[in-house]
Amino acid sequence: MLDKGVYGPWAVVAGGSEGVGASFAHQLADAGVNLVLIARKPEPLERTADEARARGVEVRTLALDLLAPDSVERIRAATDDLEVGLLVFNAGANSYGHEFVSGDLDRVQGVLDLNITAQLALTHHFGARMKDRGRGGILLVGSLAGYLGQATISVYSAVKAFGRVFAEGLWLELQPHGVHVLELVLGVTRTPAMERAGLRMDLPGLRVAEPDDVAREGLEHLPHGPVRVAGGNASTAEARSGFPRADLVRGAHEASRRLLPSGAS
């Protein structure tokens, strides 16, 4: 059971409208933690907020794009009167699948700004308050993509690698101050975003995780950072961390192509 004394009374969930983010919201609400939910799409955001309120907690919502120049200021304004004991950063699924040199550099910058700049800004703001308080938790949602480079999502893979290494260093810095840090590394997870992308999840032998399961795993292992590979994918992460890199990268590339919708390249 999540310790409300450590991670409460309020949690901020960025990317808290659907999929894994909604699962975090539901499970935190079940633990009695009040919520600030942040997401771009108002409809699923309010639906998840209503579901959390029905579990007996207070919920504030912010329908905003974390890429907006004033997003961090708006989040601060909405939370400065709250004691936030947990930050869940689950916003970062804009992989922008395109070969880098022929792609749109502005779109690439968006991947960097969401997965690095916004994550750092929120972690810096709430982490400083938790450090001063002497307790709290920061859960950053990562991806198996961050264990090796992949064609058409090379920048996304790189920022997810950044997130994991950042979490490891932050874990060391905040551990003496009673603040837990965990990078929760996800593999293929059955989320609305994945379904909209048309990824094939019916391949023989493919390990597909459910949002409720990975959210539960992350919250259970939050005190045991710095990294938790969810969904039984630890062996995959270990294999992707080895050498020779050329063989590993080529092999993972061929495997990932099978996930693409029929006819996609």
Which amino acid, 264?
Answer: A
Mean pLDDT (the chain) is 92
Whose tokens are 């700049």? That residue is 117
Q: Where are the domains of the chain?
A: 4-257
Return d(Cα 67, Cα 65) in angstroms, integer. Answer: 5
Find the mean pLDDT for residues 169-193. 92
Annotation says 41 is catalytic:
no
DSSP state of 182: E
Q: Check residue 1 and give its pLDDT.
A: 76
Residue with the larger pLDDT of the pair 193 and 84: 84
> pLDDT, tens digit, for every residue of 97-156?
789 999 999 999 999 999 999 999 999 999 999 999 999 999 999 999 999 999 988 999
Return d(Cα 123, Cα 139) in angstroms, integer. Answer: 10
Catalytic residue among 41, 96, 147, 156: 156
Partners of residue 62 on adjacent β-strands: 38
Query: 207 pLDDT band (50/70/90 cuts)?
Result: confident
pLDDT over threshold 70, residue 264: no
Count of all residues that appear for the chain in the document: 265
What class, spelled out in words, does domain 4-257 have in CATH?
alpha beta
Question: Could you tell me the two tokens for 66?
Answer: 């974390």
Return d(Cα 19, Cα 13) in angstroms, integer. Answer: 12
Residue with the larger pLDDT of the pair 101 and 257: 101
Annotation says 147 is catalytic:
no
Catalytic residue among 4, 7, 131, 160: 160
Query: 263 pLDDT band (50/70/90 cuts)?
Result: very low
Q: Check residue 233 and give its pLDDT.
A: 93
Find how far residue 69's CA is from the centre of its chain. Answer: 21
pLDDT over threshold 50, residue 265: no
Query: 202 pLDDT band (50/70/90 cuts)?
Result: low
Query: 204 pLDDT band (50/70/90 cuts)?
Result: low
